[in-house]
Structure 1
Amino acid sequence: MIKIHVDMDKCQHYGQCVFEAPTVFALNEDDKLEYHATADDSELENVERAIDVCPMQAIAFAK
């Protein structure tokens, strides 16, 4: 299991992460980011890509 953290103070809800890891990240009806704080190990590469494409660098692996 991987743990994910999004700094919501940095996040500007661009949604680039949604394209890379749609089972982990989503934009709600108000276009605000929602995410699962944990994901299966099979999502590791998708989450890594989401981290890389985030323009605000708001996504990280949680410890």
Structure 2
Amino acid sequence: MRVVVDLNRCQGYAQCCYAAPDSFELRGHEILFYDPAPPDEARPRIERAQQACPVRAISIEPASLDREDAL
């Protein structure tokens, strides 16, 4: 899984930080740090964070395949 946050859309409401504190952290007033490649066991929390975001700035994508995996 790959997590993408549209930082132009993010308004710093920090709802993701409450839903998945191991994956999202708000530093300062509006600086969001997040894990773009969290472990699979974090998926339920990441999905809750995605749903909690009032501006829908969080998306979850499939992990990209390595070239060796694609061969």
Which structure has the bigger radius of gyration?
2
Moved over 2 A (4+): none
Unaligned runs of 5+ in 2: 63-71
Tell me the SS of whatever aligns to 2:28: coil
TM-score normalised per structure 2: 0.80
Tell me the number of residue pairs that the alignment of Structure 1 and Structure 2 aligns.
62
The answer to which of 21-30 and 51-60 deviates more is 21-30
Unaligned runs of 5+ in 1: none
Fraction of identical pairs, as percent: 34
Kindly report the root-mean-square deviation, in angstroms, between the aligned alpha carbons of the 2 structures.
1.1
Pairing of 1:21-32 with structure 2 (within 5 A):
21-32=20-31
Tell me the SS of whatever aligns to 2:43: helix
Tell me the SS of whatever aligns to 2:16: helix
